Amino acid sequence: MVDASVSTSAEAAEQSLDELLRATHEASPMELPVALDRYTEAMGIGRAVIYLVDLEQRLLMPLDEDVPRLDIDDSLAGFAFRTDSAQIEDEDAGGLSVWLPLMNGAERLGVLQLRMESLDGLTLWRCRTLASLLALVITSKRTYIDTFAQRIRTRSMELPTEMVRAFLPPRSIGTGRVVSTAVVEPAYELGGDAFDHSFTEDVLHATILDAMGHDLASGLTTSVAMAGSRNARRTGADLAELVTTVDEALAKWLPDQFCTGVFLQLHMPSGALRWSNCGHPTPLVIRRRRLLDKELERTSEPPLGLLAQLSDAPRQVHETALEAGDRLLLYTDGVVESRDEGGEQFGLERFADHIIRSTAAGENAPEVLRLLIHAILDHRHSELSDDATILMIEWLPPDP
């Protein structure tokens, strides 16, 4: 026989959750914290504060402007964010703070702080459920609520960057078989670099682009290239047709512009990889903690938008197979060519070594890239001479 008090408690919790769901559908940015506090008070889990990660992934920015921001590398909240794990902290005035990562699949949005007097298993489960729900709410609302975009910025953004960022997908996407994650710097003065990744059925599609120049025309070039790629992909084009579509779009609409790029398709169940490299640095493969820098090296081809002018040959599509645990790295030349004050390049070897060391330390894929891009920025004292973009794919098929 079910205890009546337990049944009533469960019913009250379900009703409170239903009320929160209804409220969040209609809540404005100002009303969302109020609806959230109403729910957490009813559930006995104290006041809630939502923190979002800033564009440079150094700070956790609260939605409530009266709450101080937190450093990701020097706070328990940041540790929860970096490790995708719940963390519990004793408050000086008594009680507890529970820090929970806000994640939409593989994408790390920020953290949720909940304050309470005590914590048990049921309450922690409710806290985790709330964090999962809020991640979905934030993801759905940020497409049309600029308050979220304002909160994650620490300074003004240049117009070309605003245009390119409007086209960029989430920083990280993933399934049980694969994670694709990317970083782009400089966050506020981006020129012609861009990335794209998405899923269709059991295939991961990924792209990296680097346009000539560092101005509005550069951003427009990568935007047209991404739009051409997505248009072809969404009509079911194969990889060769997709690259041809991008070539033709740039030749038609921006005949004086060009960009380099890599387009790839990964069949997630088998690890079969198909790719086309259009004048871009060769992607790298890290396998069993070793760099295989020439694994995907093939004959060089013209940049996108220049094929008709430089060659009569069709675009080449190459094929290989990944091994379980492989990490595939696509990058722009600004990554390895970044120089310090003494003129020393960051270099391919140092680039790969950071990936290998972070992986060996047990860091998740998005955290590996966050640490790497900060190492590159620190090498240049946060002043890059060229855009630096990295896209990393980790293939982890389930055990047989």
* pLDDT tens per residue, range 255-276: 999 999 999 999 999 999 999 9
Kindly list the strands in the beta sheet with 178-185, ordered across the sheet, starting from the edge strand earlier in the chain: 172-174, 178-185, 388-395, 327-331, 284-287, 290-292
Share of the chain above pLDDT 90, in %: 59
Q: Quick check: 336 pLDDT over 50?
A: yes
Select the CATH number that applies to the domain covering 157-395 from these four: 2.40.30.170, 3.90.1150.10, 3.40.640.10, 3.60.40.10: 3.60.40.10
pLDDT for the residue 345: 78
Confidence of residue 4 (pLDDT cuts 50, 70, 90): very low
Determine the topology of domain 4-150 in CATH.
Answer: Beta-Lactamase (3.30.450)
- Vertex 326: Cα angle to 324 and 328 (nearest 5): 145
Signed CA dihedral, 224, 212, 366, 75: sign only: negative
| Element containing residue 79 per DSSP (H, E) | helix 76-83
At 94, list the tokens: 């008594």
Q: Is the pLDDT of residue 8 over 70?
A: no
Range 242-271 burial, b when 16+ CB lie within 10 A, else e = bbbbbbbbbbeebeebbbbbbbbbbbbeeb
**Distance of alpha carbon 90 from alpha carbon 76, whole angstroms:** 11
Q: Give 19 or 128, the one with higher predicted confidence.
A: 128
For residue 1, the model assigns a pLDDT of 43
User: How many beta carbons lie within 10 A of that of residue 149, not counting itself?
Assistant: 14
**What is the average pLDDT across 234-239?**
95
CATH 3.30.450.40 in the chain, residue ranges:
4-150
Task: Measure the CA–CA gap between 121 and 128, rounded to whole angstroms.
Answer: 11
CA-angle at 346, arms to 330 and 58, nearest 5°:
75
pLDDT of res. 10: 65
The predicted structure's pLDDT at residue 234: 96
134-171 confidence digits (pLDDT tens):
999 899 988 888 999 999 999 999 999 999 999 999 99
Residue 382 has pLDDT above 60, yes or no: no
Question: Which of 2-11, 31-40, 109-118, 368-377 is the least confident region?
Answer: 2-11
Tell me, what's the pLDDT at 364? 93
pLDDT (tens digit, 9 = 90+) per residue, 72-89?
A: 999 999 999 999 999 999
- Give first-to-last CA distance, the chain, whole Å: 42
Residues of the chain with CATH 3.60.40.10: 157-395
Distance CA 167, CA 11 (A): 43
Select the highest-mean-pLDDT range: 74-78, 188-192, 381-385: 74-78
Q: What is the pLDDT of residue 400?
A: 54
Per-residue confidence (pLDDT) for residue 5, from 0 to 100: 44
Lowest pLDDT segment from 323-327, 377-381, 387-391: 377-381
